[in-house]
Structure 1
Amino acid sequence: MTLIANHPERNIIRAQLKQNIVLKELRDSEMAALEPYLTVTNHQKGDLLLNQGVYDMQQYFILDGILKRQVTNHEAKEMILRFSSERDIETSYAAWCLKTPTPYSIVCMTKARVASMPLTQWVNFLQSHSVVKQAFEYEVMNLMSAIMAHTITLHLLDAPGRVHRFMRKFPDLFERLPKKELAYYLNLSPETLSRLKHQGKI
């Protein structure tokens, strides 16, 4: 973990943070006040950022790469809830507010670089920055709504429909995601996704 001020690519990282869906609301002076709390880490594919069932939570700002949010049941069966990439956030803010353990894990789908800070410090920062707090809470609600819509879609749409919906909503991610992971997200077998693509139905 490296503080931004000490990072050899700090200028690039600062530019990336200014493009983040939540942090873009910050003025330069506010970003400077936040920066000392942020650490930058590089991760490999498969690295676990947040483990399901813990109370030690972080706020993540994605600089490079793709993350997935997944939940695992008692039989170790996994379900992918969402993917996130550059300019996105990952958080367990709702669990923090409810004082419950994290209901899901956050895993690196690809090589990734993230800036993170303890969620408690992030919440404290928000208390004195109402514009950013509003943007952040809106994004949290937006993510929860998108996950609910995806879950409903799995029941209402057939296989081609699920794939087309994903391509329409996330065209930039479709080619970047490992097809096995995308198939699991869409509740398809990798073979079915491959066959749809081969038949020209997607």
Structure 2
Amino acid sequence: MHPLHAFFNGLWPVSDQDFARLLPHVEPRAVAKGAHLLEAGQVCEAVFFVTTGFFRMYYVGPDGHEVNCRFTGANGFLTDFQSFLTQQPSRYAWQAVQAAEVLALPHALVQQLYRKSPAWERVGRLMAERVYQQLNERVELLQFYTPTQRYEYVRQQYPELLTQISQAQLASYLGVQPESLSRIRHRLSQKKG
């Protein structure tokens, strides 16, 4: 089974016939390490399925510092749903943390699939719900957890982040300075030792 078909089936069963409507229109793209799939100010024209590689979603705050807010690796998808749905410029950027390959599902194709198939309409809704849950998870981490609890949560729920991204990127995601993250990690290692 095609990895993209398996991903969609994990959300909602998509028949071979419905998947066949999609596959000829999917656009494979290679993305070099450090390159942007989406830059702030651009309209997000597609939903992307990551076949290999790792991406970060970030924005530049008023102080000029980059703030990481989401990460996605192989067999995940990425988009800026606000920009994708409204076809207005994005405030976010998606950058490849390592060389990657993605499959692009263009906006017009997605809208066409929604109109032609109840299964695709259901998949779209479930993907939007998943994005909401991911965004809400980050908001709740920042609002209700201490910095140490945030680090422990990420370490338990997303251990791949500890090896895929830099300490500065992780600190930004956790809402702390890199020096604070170093102290948190040191304190936790002392407790275990």
TM-score range (shorter-chain normalised) is 0.7 to 0.9
Q: Match for residue 6 of structure 2? A: 19
Residue of structure 2 equivalent to 1:176: 164
Counterpart of 1:128 in structure 2 is 116
Q: Could you list the runs of 4 or more consecutive aligned residues of structure 1 that deviate by over 6 angstroms after TM superposition?
A: none
The aligned counterpart of 1:93 is 81
Task: Give the letter aligned to residue 3 of structure 2.
Answer: Q
Measured against aligned partners, the alpha-carbon deviations of 1:85-137 in whole angstroms (never above 9, x if no partner) come to: 12211123333333432231111122211011321222212222222322222
State whether structure 2 residue 91 is matched by structure 1 residue 72.
no
Q: Is 2:149 the counterpart of 1:151?
A: no
Equivalent position of 1:52 in the other structure: 40
| Equivalent in the alignment of 1:167 | 155
CA distance in 1, matches of 2:24, 2:110: 12
What secondary structure does 2:71 align onto?
A: strand
Choose which of 183, 187, 199 in structure 1 pairs with 2:175.
187
Report whether the alignment pairs 1:114 with 2:102: yes
1:39 is matched with which residue: 1, 7, 27?
Answer: 27
Secondary structure at 1:76 match in 2: coil
Change (3 A) 1:135 1:85: same
Q: Amino acid of the residue matched to residue 20 of structure 1? A: F
CA RMSD for the aligned pairs?
Answer: 2.5
Shift of 1:63: 0.6
Could you tell which deviates more after superposition, 93-102 or 113-122? 93-102
2:184 is aligned with 1:196? yes
Structure 2: which amino acid aligns with 1:43? V
Secondary structure in 2 matching 1:66: strand
| CA distance in structure 1 between the partners assigned to 2:166 and 2:159 by the alignment | 14
CA contact (8 A) 1:159 1:188 kept: yes
Q: Shift of residue 53 of structure 1?
A: 2.0
In structure 1, C-alpha distance between the alignment counterparts of 2:91 and 2:3, rounded to whole Å: 28
The whole-number CA distance in structure 1 between the counterparts of 2:61 and 2:157 is 28
Please tell me whether residue 82 in structure 1 is matched to residue 61 in structure 2. no
Residue in 2 that maps onto 1:7? none
Over 3 Å counting, the alpha-carbon distance change for 1:92 and 1:56 in structure 2 is: closer
Greater displacement, 116-125 / 149-158: 149-158
How many angstroms apart in 1 are the aligned matches of 2:10 and 2:22?
10
| Change over 3 Å in CA distance of 1:79–1:93 after alignment to 2 | same
Contact 2:161–2:170, Cα closer than 8 Å, also in 1:
no
Q: CA deviation at 1:56?
A: 5.3
Q: Are the counterparts in 1 of residues 113 and 120 from structure 2 also a CA contact under 8 Å? A: no
Distance in 2, matches of 1:15 and 1:142, equals 21
